[in-house]
Structures are given as structure tokens and as C-alpha cells.
Amino acid sequence: MMDYAELFKARVTLLVVITGAAGFYLGSLRSGISPFNMGLLNTLGGMAVVTAGSAALNEALERRSDAQMRRTARRPMASGRIGLLHGLLLGFAAVFFGSMFLAHETNLLTGTLTLITAVGYVGIYTPLKRMTTLATFIGAFPGALPPLIGWTAARGMIEWPGVALFAVLFVWQFPHFMAIAWMYREDYANAGIKMTPVVSPNGLTTVAQSLFYAVLMIPVSLWTTWLGVTGIPYAIAATILSLGYLWYTVRFARILKETDPLKSRAYARDLLKASVIYLPLLLAAMMLNAQGRIFF
């Protein structure tokens, strides 16, 4: 079972489910209905299946490069514990049937967006990682779609609040992934993956991108309040949280002068930890203060 949990990237799938749930919750309240219904379970179940399938296909495509990196060498397809054909069949079946399920149980738009997310992640982002550092930017688009998908599942249409949720996840990704890329830059270099710290090893571009998006995170996190989806209590919480995220990103900039690789890695690890704490707290604040309400 652990091999399949790793094949389906259980932690990534959980993050997708959490962000999708936030979108569905906020979209349902926008419609004036309770978000706690079968639609929520159908949406999250379908999203989880498609995400798991996409993860399996990603590991199938990257099995050789995964085998060259210490961080990923023990993945089930890279190590041969799960065969290529088996992984491909599971992946394609999960993406296809999960998307069809969402189209049938929610609406066609939601099923289509979910399928686009899978195609973008597996068919575009994954092969581009070996070609250009722009893969991180391009991959951020499918990576940011889950909360918008949750919104469309509840509302049946793309609206500005859903786009605002997309923007939050889009911007959040850059400091998060730059921290990961810096921590494992030697692994990525050995595998021939064009991450920013590999192409620009002095760290200037890595830090500049991280700081730019961490600063941008402050106004982007407040967009839902400007649209009337969340209230002032959320805006205060979002500002405090975003300033904290920025602080850890500024601290990450110390890698430019740090000569000790262990300390440099520690700065990146701290930013990574901050990013995975920041996002759930921000989404929880949105949900707690949805449409100006303080409680659920």
C-alpha cells in the first residue's frame, strides 16, 4: 500500500483536495447553500482520483530521472517495484474516469478544467522540466487550478472570486518551489532538470523570483476581500500571514552570502516549512470569514 501511496503522491493529492474544498466551500456560500452536501464529496473524490492518476503518469515519464536523484530514487516506478505498464494503466484510467465522473456529477466545465489540469501537468510541465526553467512558471498554471475547480463545481461557471483563488495558489507556488529547487539543486543537476538554481547557481535569480512573488502575495491574498467574498477579519489575518511568508523569504535571501551549504539548505528548508503552513492557514481564514461571516 505504501508503494501506491507514493505512486499517487498522497501528500500532493491531499493538498489538491484541501484547496479544492476551499473553492467549493466559498462557491457554495456565494450561492447561499450549505457546502456540506454530496456535491462536496463528489468533487473532492473526483479531484483526488485525477490527481492520483496524474501523479502516476508523471512518475512514469520521470522514472529514469527519478532514479538519478537521491530524493526520488526510491519511488516505486524509479526503483522498479511497480512496472511501467501497470503505472501507465492506473494513471490513464484514473485521469479519464475521474474527469468523466466530475463532468457527470458536477458539471461539464469542472470535468474539462480537471482534465486540462492533468494534461497541463503531465503533457506540458513534466517534459518541459528537462528543457527550460520556464517549466516552473508554466507548471504553476495547472498547479493553481484546484481551488478554481472547486469553485466551478459549486457555481457552474468561472467568476472573479474563483480566479482570485487561482491567483492565490499561483503566486504561492514560487517561493515554495524555489526553496525545494535550492535544497535539491545537485540532484536536479545530476538528472538534467532545468531548475532555476541549476541554471543560475549563484542564487540571484532564485532569490529575486522568490521575493517578487512573496511581495505579490500580499495584495493577491486580499483580492477576495475586495471582491466581497471575505471580510475585514480575514484581510487582517491574510496581511499578517503574508508578511510572515515574506519574512521567511527575505531570510531565504541569506543564501546569497552563505558559504556553509548546511546553513544555506536550512534557510531553504525553513522557507519550505513556512510555505506549507501559510497556505492552509490562509485558506482556513478565508473559510472562517467567508462573505464577512466569522464562523462557518
Q: Are 87 and 223 members of one domain?
A: no
Q: What is the DSSP letter of 230?
A: B
Picking from 119, 138, 158, the residue at the C-terminal end of a domain is: 158
Signed CA dihedral, 283, 243, 171, 183: sign only? negative
Kindly give the parts of the chain with pLDDT less than 70.
292-296
Based on the fold, state whether residues 112 and 193 are members of the same structural domain. Answer: no
Of the candidates 103, 97, 107, 1, which has an alpha carbon nearest to the alpha carbon of residue 49?
97
Which amino acid, one-letter code, is at 70?
R
Question: Three-state SS for 200?
Answer: coil
Domain boundary among 129, 158, 187: 158
Residues 282 and 173 in one domain: yes
Of 158, 178, 198, the residue that ends a domain is 158
Which grid coordinates are listed for 144? 493553481
pTM confidence score:
0.95
Residues 6+ away with beta carbon under 8 Å from 153: 20, 23, 24, 27, 39, 42, 43, 102, 106, 107, 110
Cell of 215: 511581495
Based on the fold, state whether residues 146 and 45 are members of the same structural domain.
yes
Residues 148 and 208 in one domain: no
Q: Tens of pLDDT along 265-277?
A: 999 999 999 999 9
Q: Contact 177/200 with Cβ under 8 angstroms?
A: no
Query: What is the predicted pLDDT for the residue at 296?
Result: 45
Q: What does the alpha-carbon distance between residue 198 and residue 190 come to, in Å, rounded to a whole number?
A: 10
pLDDT at site 241:
99
Same domain? For 202 and 114 the reply is: no
**121 and 223 co-located in one domain:** no
293-to-51, 220, 235, 285 alpha-carbon distances in Å: 31, 20, 12, 11
Q: Which residues pair with 269 in a beta bridge?
A: none
Question: Structural domain of residue 257, as residue ranges?
Answer: 160-296
Please tell me the predicted confidence (pLDDT) of residue 1.
79
Determine the pLDDT at residue 293. Answer: 55
- Does residue 174 sit in the same domain as residue 148? no
Q: What's the domain count of the chain?
A: 2
**What CATH number should be reported for the domain holding residue 40?**
1.10.357.140
Is 34 in the same domain as 51?
Answer: yes
